[in-house]
A = this chain, B = another copy of it.
Amino acid sequence: MIVRPRTNLLKLFFVMRGSVVPRILPQILGFALYGAAVVAAIKLLKLDLGDAGVAPFALLGVALSVYLGFRNNAAYDRWWEARKLWGQLVFEIRNLSRAATAMISDRDELRPLLMDSLAFCHFLRGELRRVDTREAARPFIGDAIDEIHAATNRPDAAMRRMGEKIGALKRAKVLEAMDYRILDERLAAISALQAGCERIMGTPLPFAYTLLLQRTAYIFCLLLPFGLAGSAGWVTPLFTALIAYTFFGLDALSEELEDPFGMEANDLALDGLCRVCEISVFEALGETPPPMLPAENFYYS
C-alpha cells in the first residue's frame, strides 16, 4: 500500500510508484502508433469513410461507462471490505487480549492463548497471500507450528487450537460459563472475518465482466481513429492514446484492487497489520512490543 503526501503539479506527471501507467504503457503507446498509422493510411490512400464522426462512439460510450463504473465500484468495494475485515481482526485481537488478561490470572495459561492468536494472524496472511509464513509465526508458538502447517486450512487449525485451550480452561473451572462465552464470541468473530477474507480471495468478480469490458474497450479504441481522422487529423493519435489511458488505466487499477491481498503497490499492508496486532498483544502482556514496520519509498508491505 502506498501512503504519500500530496505531490505538486510537476511531480504529478512523473510519479511512477503506485501509478498504473507502467502496466498500461504498451496499450497507450500501441494505440498512439495505431492511430497515427490509420491517419497516414487514410491520407495516403485518400480513403473515404463517410462522415459518421464520433457520434456513434457516444452511443457505445453509454454502455462502456456503465461497465467501467460498475467494475471499478465492485473492485473497490472488495478492497475496502478486505481492509475492514483486517481492521476487525485488529480489534478482535485487542478485545481477546483485554478480556483474557482480566479473566485468566495464570500467566502460563494466558500467554500461549494470545500467542496462538498472533500465529493465527500470520497463517491468515499466508493463506491470503499464498506465501509460507511458518517462520514468521514460529517465534510465537514454536514447533506447534508444524502441526498447524500440516492442516488443509491452517488459520482454521490455529483457531481450533485456541478453541481447545479455552475449552480446557472451562472444564478446569478457570473460566466460568459467562467468561467462556465472552471468549467464544471473540473466536467466532475472528472466524467470521477469516471466512470473509477467504470469500474475497476465492471468488473473483465474474470473469465475464472482464471479458465484456476489455473486449468493448479494445474495439472502441481500434475503431476510434477512423471516426476521428476526418475531423481531427493528426491530433487523432493523441486522443486515441488519451482515451486508451482512461479506459485501460481504470481497468488495470480495478484488476489490482479486485484481489486486495496481493503485494502490488495498491494492495493492503497485511505485514503492517500483523505487526499492529503483535504490538497490542505484547503491550497487553506488559512485554516490550516490536517496532512498527517502516515504509520503503512510501510503500507498506
Q: Which positions in A face B, CB cutoff 8 Å?
A: 1-4, 6, 9, 12-13, 15, 18-21, 49-70, 72-74, 76, 79-80, 83-84, 87-88, 90-91, 94-95, 97-99, 101-103, 151-153, 156-157, 159-160, 163-164, 166-167, 170, 176-182, 184, 187-188, 191-192, 194-196, 198-199, 202-204, 206-209, 211-212, 214-216, 218-219, 223-224, 226, 228, 231-235, 238-239, 242-243, 245-247, 249-250, 253, 255-257, 265-266, 268, 276, 279-280, 283-284, 289, 292
How many copies of this chain sit in the oligomeric assembly? 5
Among B184, B203, B292, which residue has its beta carbon within 8 angstroms of that of A182? Answer: B184
Give A170 to B191 CA distance when docked, in angstroms: 25
> Interface on chain A toward B: helix, strand, loop, or mixed SS?
helix
Which of B66, B90, B102, B181 interacts with A163 by CB under 8 Å?
B102
Residues of B within 8 A of A181 (CB): 178, 181-182
Query: In the complex, what distance in Å separates the CA atom of A245 from the CA atom of B182?
Result: 54
Question: Are A253 and B59 interface neighbours, CB within 8 A?
Answer: no
CB of A52 within 8 A of CB of B232, answer yes
Looking at the assembled complex, report how far the CB atom of A286 sits from the nearest CB atom of chain B, in whole angstroms: 10
**A63–B12 CB distance below 8 A:** no
Give Cα distance in the complex from A283 to B167, angstroms.
17
Whether the pair B166, A102 counts as a contact (CB closer than 8 A) is: yes
* Complex CA–CA separation, A209 to B87 (angstroms): 22
The answer to whether B151 touches A283, judged by C-beta atoms less than 8 angstroms apart, is yes
Note all chain B residues with C-beta closer than 8 A to A50.
Answer: 231-235
Q: Which residues of B contact A55 (CB under 8 A)?
A: 53-55, 58, 231
- Are B152 and A289 closer than 8 Å at their CB atoms? yes
Can you report 14 A-B residue pairs in the complex whose CB atoms are below 8 A from each other? Answer: A1-B206, A6-B255, A21-B211, A54-B59, A59-B61, A60-B239, A67-B250, A98-B160, A102-B166, A103-B167, A152-B292, A153-B279, A208-B253, A216-B245
- CB-nearest residue of chain B to A55: B54
Given A247-B63, A250-B212, also A95-B54 (CB < 8 A): no
Chain B residue at minimum C-beta to C-beta distance from A99: B184
Closest Cβ–Cβ distance, residue A161 to chain B (whole Å): 10
